[in-house]
Structure 1
């Protein structure tokens, strides 16, 4: 058996790279390759891990390595240090140790070769894993203390700079700070101005702007976001909530929290409005008064009527805009509208929204029209006739497969006859060309008959299941109160729906269904 080479970049490696010591993985690969040549080892594969995760669950290549080691696929694993294999908790360390021990897979490093069957090597290996974990904890505490000290001293320690700033190295110091990007700063000021003061209208009044209106205004003006994508309402809210713009920075605003759910550790990053804040070593874009005013306005806005996270749209994932192709989404009722509407998620699209309940009613009415339509398209056919057709097609498929296998055997034999000298090169090429053509014709015929067989099976299944499913849906739909169940019932018979509305309803005619629904059934296209 051959050997596996495992390469992983650590935090210390990144620091070394920043000092100009070269790319870590390339340097380690060269050293381990030289070691394998010196020891006469055959390298069967090289796994490179570019993530510096604390646990095995965050390292997909390490997971693959352990599975293959436990299956006994490798004689040994080459790695720069034992610490590269596991620096996680005792559970991870035990997993690694057991995998190598029970599969009797060797661990080869430039300093030492560990033989799991040797008692002393096993103890030394486990001791190294334990010490690597302690070292990791020590390094992590030191780094965290340094980060907290730098944060409280005003240095910017986050990975990327928010919109309106760029991250720059402070001359003469190790820390980073923020520098204002003038073009982006103008947009930040404009966002806070629209939110806190509104915009002067022709009649002399000021129109109040929320996150959705600000989003639409920026997209109408073609203001570029940092990602070059259209602005979203959530990004506007994040800007309005970010104290960086008034000169402060946050610590552990979205601290990672771990929970045990179903036997697995699940990580979440909830927002903490009461996290620690300090004055940063950078200039603010808006005044502190303006920022605080924005927070007061936001706190004074009414909460949505229904804050439940349960599904509230029975047409979720089904209705698409016929103009731009985007998924239609539910917009809850507000002070102007007393009902939820279905609207296109694209703020630049001119497709007009309609009440969600009205669209839902029209979908069910359209399904009622399907029953006589599809009964006409599918004339009565006895079960015996369908079975006879399928039997004939299955026999044809079996015969073609037999001929195809025989042709493949003949094709393989031509190579043997060439090697034995029975065929000269010209005879071999002619014979091979004939058999290749015959093989291609049989494969094409097999594909055609299998397609026809599958089409008939689909028709029979649709005939047997589709109409009864629609009839059951129409009978039971309005009796079901659970929105998720309604959505599941619709998805069972509908593939998707195209929605189009070009004219707004006249006053007093809000319940008029002046829109078009093109409903695509979830059945085979070739009936």
Structure 2
């Protein structure tokens, strides 16, 4: 019997190392499969723990393969690993197995959903696991609320601190090698230096942030605004809106204003004194308006313009004179420009494109994509090799060839490689798709509709209009050049 195995950490295993848990489960399922004549041909590692089905990418990939009839069965440690989310999601998962005739195999029991008794039992077990999940979640929230009130709850250790437990309470202790840079940031800002200058200076001194290669304007600004450095614990700085909750097409994270934060005295020691912290906050309040996501779109170019040098999204920045700029957060990268100049240049490009397109142009314009298709084949071959390498890493961990730190380091590199290949694959597929289905007449009609409605629209509507005809705007500008001396490469949506 050909089968896949699905590995996912359960709620009861929270706090345990994910790689260790999944390696243990993989070994147990491999032993069960060998004893029962089951041939495992694919493994799906779910390293995220989202409640929603759409927050579990490996489960979505598994369901596609199950619906295609790729496997006779799917192995998992128990039924809860497959389906413990919302009732709607549970129905989607169970229906996929039932319609395809794929068995669900656990060390405890095999479920054949074409059998009425197994089908009812699976529905009952998933219902009970969902109820158990809600009870556990409520307990966790009550416990978290209490630790917040006690001033000892810390979700993540910010730069300059590490998490510790004192008297069974989670808190922070100072990492002096990082705290020295934190003090330097506050002192330099109070002396009149900007976030970009501070980032450049501490990068040259060898400072390394936790989640990226180097400090930039945004990471410095976040540190300067964080009350944790004066011994406070902050809660509710963000809130989450689920996909579809407000008609939004995807899950969004909203940065809440300071008056919505919950700030209490923490148990951890302060790195910065309150006087210096207050001085920095006063300077920041009068110097610029930091961009923040409050659930609304304020820029017509949001998510459209990318730096052509580093590939990152250009960020909107407002000043106290209400002039908006587009800036690249990568230190030493492209120079910024006024947002209005970039917006005008994009509209002018659309006007020229509309003038060039003719309604009588043939409906389909086929381009030669043999080079792109050859590149796509190479990328998919590399993806297959990377997936095999990822699987071998787990084997080597189980055999004791790697220790946990080495495993994590090598797994991170493989994951980065896979992500880069997936990005290249998506870009090539878009080019091929546009080349084969490009309809200039339809594009002309859509561009005309955008230009006709643009002047009377607000920022959010303008953003939606532009995204209807533009895939990406690539921005490039050299340092110390004229304000309007920048170059744009605009990828249009032909279909």
- CA shift in 2, pair 1:329/1:117, >3 Å: closer
> For the residues of structure 1 that align with 2:274 and 2:95, how far apart are their CA atoms?
58
Residue 172 (structure 2) aligned to one of 160, 169, 178: 178
Residue 232 (structure 1) aligned to one of 199, 216, 220: 216
Deviation at 1:185? 2.5
Deviation at 1:498? 5.8
> Which structure 2 residues correspond to residues 309-388 of structure 1 after superposition, within 5 A?
309-311=297-299, 317=305, 348=332
> Which structure 2 residues correspond to residues 208-287 of structure 1 after superposition, within 5 A?
208-209=192-193, 213-220=194-201, 222-223=204-205, 224-227=207-210, 229-258=213-242, 260-262=245-247, 266-273=251-258, 274-287=260-273
Note the alpha carbon deviations across 1:185-240, whole angstroms, 9 max, x for none: 33333333444xx43xxxxxxxx45xxx1431341352424246443333233223
> For the residues of structure 2 that align with 1:131 and 1:184, how far apart are their CA atoms?
47
What SS does the corresponding residue of 1:4 show, helix, strand or coil?
strand
Paired residue for 2:50? Answer: 53
**1:32 and 2:25 matched:** no
Paired residues in the alignment total 394
Deviation at 1:88? 0.6
Deviation at 1:293? 4.3
How large is the RMSD of aligned CA atoms in angstroms?
A: 5.1
**1:169 and 2:154 matched:** no
What SS does the corresponding residue of 1:226 show, helix, strand or coil?
coil
> For the residues of structure 1 that align with 2:188 and 2:179, how far apart are their CA atoms?
14
Note the alpha carbon deviations across 1:418-454, whole angstroms, 9 max, x for none: xxxxxxxxxxxxxxxxxxxxxxxxxxxxxxxxxxxxx
Is the contact between residue 199 and residue 217 of structure 2 (CA under 8 Å) also seen in structure 1? no
Paired residue for 2:106? Answer: 109
Note the alpha carbon deviations across 1:502-525, whole angstroms, 9 max, x for none: 58xxxxxxxxx69977888999xx
Is the contact between residue 87 and residue 132 of structure 1 (CA under 8 Å) also seen in structure 2? yes
Deviation at 1:296? 4.5
Is the contact between residue 256 and residue 270 of structure 1 (CA under 8 Å) also seen in structure 2? no
What SS does the corresponding residue of 2:238 show, helix, strand or coil?
coil
**1:187 and 2:181 matched:** yes
Note the alpha carbon deviations across 1:147-185, whole angstroms, 9 max, x for none: 333333332431x31122222333xx3333211223433
What SS does the corresponding residue of 2:239 show, helix, strand or coil?
coil
Note the alpha carbon deviations across 1:283-329, whole angstroms, 9 max, x for none: 11222344344444545567699x99454679x848868xx999988
Larger mean CA deviation between 286-295 and 233-242 belongs to: 286-295
Note the alpha carbon deviations across 1:13-72, whole angstroms, 9 max, x for none: 355669xxx933333333333333333333333322222222221222222222333333
- CA shift in 2, pair 1:354/1:163, >3 Å: closer
Paired residue for 1:88? Answer: 85
Q: Which runs of 5+ in 1 are unaligned?
A: 200-207, 367-393, 398-457, 504-512
Is the contact between residue 200 and residue 216 of structure 2 (CA under 8 Å) also seen in structure 1? no
Paired residue for 2:3? Answer: 3
> For the residues of structure 1 that align with 2:344 and 2:307, how far apart are their CA atoms?
14
Is the contact between residue 3 and residue 43 of structure 1 (CA under 8 Å) also seen in structure 2? yes
Q: Which runs of 5+ in 2 are unaligned?
A: 350-367, 371-434
Larger mean CA deviation between 293-302 and 133-142 belongs to: 293-302
